[in-house]
Amino acid sequence: MAAYKGRKRRFSEDEEMSEASSPPPVQCARSFVEKHQQRMNEWKRSKTDSPKPSPLQDKLTMLDKDKLVQLVVTLLDTHPHLKQDLMKYIPAPTISSAIHALSELEKKIHTSFPYHKNGPRRDRYTYSRVRHTLQDLMDTMLLYCQHFVSMTMFPTTYFDFLDQVTYFAHRLPAWEVEEHNLPKQQLFEDLVDYWQQAIQLTVQLIQQAGTLSSFPIDTISHWAKSLAHHNALANGALQDAVSDFNQLLLLPSTLHHPSLPSLHPPVICHHPTPSNDILPSPGVVGYADLR
């Protein structure tokens, strides 16, 4: 009995058992085909269940941004009663989305500079190449200023936006021909107006509340430092806005907190100075590669 239990099976016996336990090749092939067909049916079913885009959607998808905007404007001019309905579906821009859009326009300016072996130039020819993209950026900046600097926004929102958008103005290039620098100068004048509007709106809110407690002295001081910093970078181009801020916001808040007399006049904060302009680096071989 013990000898029987200890007997080892022969290789031929293992081979016979393996053949008996595995399905025949034809059955394996049939099973593979059935599974593949099942997966194909599921894929077709999911494809047919998903909604197909309409012919109108296909045509609109093929339009670029400018043509699509022109199409909508023409439609609204023809059917002005649709304007109110359309405005309900257009999401309001946020500071993040606005800065992203401005950054994309800034990149377009960067890539519009023609290549020169000694680096980007600031002559008449170069200006003619980038003039339209420069104007697009400046126009868009003012459109966003018009949106954010309003009574519907809180002061922390429009002062934060003005702080960020003014850096785009600092980075605009200075040109060899003085006439070409006039749009940048006009832009700074418009930004001064928006800074002053923001100051006036904040003063109105303080007057309505009847107290300065809604705006902590640290917050007002932060706004003052940001504005003073921009004025320094712009060589005094924002001085009128700085004077209004000191007189209408900073001085009253300091008098309201006599323990903090050192906040007037505002100290220029030590932010890292942004690059002088948005000219591409002279070491780039081809500016089209920067896209």
Calculate the alpha carbon distances from 275 to 169, 171, 172, 223, 272 in Å.
11, 6, 10, 22, 9
Q: Check residue 82 and give its pLDDT.
A: 83
Q: How far is CA 192 from the centre of its chain?
A: 23
Per-residue confidence (pLDDT) for residue 189, from 0 to 100: 98
Is residue 109 a part of any domain in this protein? Answer: yes
Question: How many residues are present in the chain?
Answer: 291
Regions of the chain with pLDDT less than 50: 2-3, 258-274, 281-291
**What's the pLDDT at 16?**
52
Residue 271 lies in a domain: yes
**Could you tell me if residue 119 is left (phi over 0), alpha (psi between -120 and 50 degrees) or otherwise beta?**
left
First to last CA, the chain: 85
Whether 147 is covered by a domain: the verdict is yes
Specify if 245 maps to a domain.
Answer: yes
Residue 233 lies in a domain: yes
Cα 166 from Cα 160, distance rounded (Å): 10
pLDDT for res 51: 64
The reply to whether 84 falls in a domain is no
Instruction: Provide the pLDDT for residue 286.
Output: 33
Token pair recorded at residue 210: 């009847």
Q: Token pair 């504005």 is at which residue?
A: 227
What is the pTM for the complete model shown? 0.68
Which CATH number does the domain housing residue 99 bear? 1.20.58.1590
Residue 227: predicted pLDDT: 97
Q: pLDDT at position 282, please?
A: 43
- Look at residue 62 and tell me if it is in a domain: no
What's CA 232's distance to the chain center, in Å? Answer: 26
Burial code (b: 16+ CB inside 10 Å, e: under 16) for 184-211 equals beebbebbbebbbbbbebbeeebeeeee
User: What is residue 68's predicted lDDT score, i.e. its pLDDT?
Assistant: 85
**Per-residue buried b or exposed e for 212-241, using 16+ beta carbons within 10 Å of the residue's own CB:** beebebeebbbbbbbbbbbbebbeebbeeb
In a domain, 172, yes or no: yes
pLDDT in tens, 217-262: 889 999 999 999 999 999 999 999 999 999 999 887 655 554 443 3
Tens digit of each residue's pLDDT (9 = 90 or more) over 102-117 = 999 999 999 988 887 7
Per the structure, the count of domains in the chain is: 1
- Which pLDDT value is given to residue 248? 92
Q: Specify the pLDDT at position 25.
A: 58
Residue 174 lies in domain: 93-281
Q: For residue 120, what pLDDT is reported?
A: 74
